[in-house]
Amino acid sequence: WYQRRVRADDGSATCSCCDPAVPISENTERLGEEKLAGTSAVSGNVFFMRQTVGNACGTVGILHSLLNNSKVISVGETLKKFQSECLNVDPLQRASLLENSEDIACKHAAAASSGQTAAPSADEKVNLHFVSFVSVDGNMYELDGRKPSAISWGPCESEELLSKAALACQRYMACDPDEMRFTVVALSKID
């Protein structure tokens, strides 16, 4: 059902990443921790950063998605510069670079003010959290800025990402089958 909504009827659209908003519960947190504990290696080509600002998971999720796909998605000069600054620093230092980037802050504020929904304040308690699923070097990774590293979900070529991310989303949904608040955003390119 995800595939029909993202792929064009002629199959020409390819999914670059999926960003689900997952309800935060003991069950979903347990699944995330189990997957993290089972992650033995992460490709050095995965762009991952920590989330150190409250309620910035959407921003961090979209940055994870864009910067792990910057070879196929035009990210613009501001994000190219940010990605370059992040090359040789750890995930916490990347978060600090994000916090101190005036360029990204200005673009973020402009985008946020044009939206339809008011963003929660940084200290407001929310119970939904955006993560990102990307395929890098033949593996699918869940990128959750609250975690210390990327989480491997196993082998996944880029053309399999949509179906495998849908399965991962279904695993999260099964954690709380009565929960109705679940959203997925997919970035795709029409070939």
Q: What pTM was estimated for this model as a whole?
A: 0.84
Query: Tokens standing for 145?
Result: 């800025």
Exactly one of 57, 86, 156, 169 is catalytic; which is it? 57
Chain segment 33-76, per-residue pLDDT in tens: 999 999 989 999 999 999 998 878 888 998 999 999 988 888 99
According to the model, what pLDDT value does residue 99 have? 93
Q: Which pLDDT score is estimated for 28?
A: 86
- Which of 144, 56, 130 is closest to 98 using CA atoms? 56
Of 15, 18, 129, 169, the catalytic one is 129
Is 129 among the catalytic positions? yes
Burial of 15 (0-12, 13-18, 19+ CB in 10 A): buried
What residues contact residue 37 under an 8 Å CB cut-off, 6+ apart?
none
Determine the Cα–Cα distance for residues 49 and 63; give it in Å rounded to an integer: 9
Q: What is the pLDDT of residues 114-167, one digit of tens each?
A: 766 666 666 767 667 788 999 999 999 999 999 999 999 999 998 899 889 989
pLDDT at site 191 = 59
Q: What is the pLDDT of residue 130?
A: 85
In this prediction, residues 186-190 reach a mean pLDDT of 73
In 137-174, which positions are buried (b, 16+ CB within 10 angstroms) versus exposed (e)?
Answer: eebbbbbbbebebbbbbeebebeebbebbbebbeebbe
Tell me the pLDDT tens digit for each residue of 70-117.
888 889 999 999 999 999 999 999 999 999 999 988 887 777 777 666
Task: Quickly state the pLDDT bin for 190 (edges 50, 70, 90).
Answer: low
Report CA Rg, the chain.
16
Instruction: Quote the pLDDT of residue 66.
Output: 92
Specify whether the CB–CB gap between 188 and 134 falls below 8 A. no
